[in-house]
Structure 1
Amino acid sequence: MELHVLQHPLIEHKLTVLRDKNTPSNTFRELTSELVMLEAYEATRNLEIEDAAIETPVAPMVGKKLAAPRPMVVPVLRAGLGMLDGMTRLLPTAEVGFLGMKRDESTLDIITYANRLPEDLSGRQCFLLDPMLATGGTLIAATNYLAERGAKDVTSINILAAPEGLEHLKAEMDPKINLKVVVCAVDEKLNEHAYIVPGLGDAGDRLYGVIN
């Protein structure tokens, strides 16, 4: 596993506003999208490219374009949907899949309840979107889900991570999978309810409202 913790004044400023419990949902959504765009710049650094012959208004040249097959962006429902707009703004040619996973609050087990993904992801560069990397269980399950379909290169874009989740990834992730994790910050710890501290609360609820 390769970890990238981004350090930038704009990220620190936007993340502080995002954490504030008084920040309304519409501002929370806008900031999430902006943070993902900043993260995506780093996350896509190693995208595969190929030569492209073009003509400028002045002369012919050989430039670069993204290589086939198209990258696959996979938001983890439901909170990951709040990150999709920022990612596709920077990577508009990507294909988008969906993966529905949730944590059983009593057992902390990960339950997969929906997917909309190609059966064959061989050769695809995949980007998982999920605001919180808490216990690491969802990320491990989602990465394995992609790997079972042939994906070998997976990048997880998260707003926050907990040390416990990162350690879980190091211990449990299949080393054959090239996993890169890009986060805005690594927080202090998880509390007894497996919430990141200081964190920002339940990202899904803050994006879309509380569902009873």
Structure 2
Amino acid sequence: MFITNPEIEAYLKSLVHINDSVLEKMENLGHKLNFPIVDRLVGNLLYIITQIKKPKLIVELGSGFGYSAYWFAKGLEDGKVVLNDYKEENINLAKKFFKEGNLYEKAIFEVGDAVENAKKYNNIDILFLDHEKSRYLEAIKQLENNLSKEAIIIADNVLWHGKVIEEDKDKKTEKINEFNEYMSANFKTSILPLRDGVLIALKK
């Protein structure tokens, strides 16, 4: 199921002009490997939110080879983005891309369980969820006290290919629905029907 009309999505994507050869390499690699990246529509949104928020600390859960974190890093003025992935080869690739883009000093690279790694950090200004979808609710509950007073929470894939509105939901979709409902009840929350659905929330 398409979340947005593919022609509208193509039009929106055409309006995001990337003058960064490293980002283009990362997109090409993602498409070649069929690796799930947020792509430039969501990447540009992350960049804009970072520019507005001016965070000191961004923590990502599920960084892959660093595509979304690279957008965050580009938007940072004075802060760090923490990348988390359970695969060391993904983090090593991310390091390579960040070095090539002269953004290495803006990043902290972690390998292992993303939620457990994130617990080491306090006063998180932006928390980005893009790891196992069934663990989103667990992650926010465990990391709520690690957020700064006016933190922003961003979560990708919260419409899950439109499955969230199906009557016969699988367990993963049910978990995503539970997360969306929890966020709507406990945070100031909006879901953008961009790509596969992007949730943006503020602490109440």
TM class by shorter chain equals 0.3 to 0.5
Using structure 2 for the length normalisation, give the TM-score. Answer: 0.47
**Bigger strand share:** 1
Larger radius of gyration: 1
- Which structure shows the higher helix fraction? 2
TM-score w.r.t. length of structure 1? 0.45
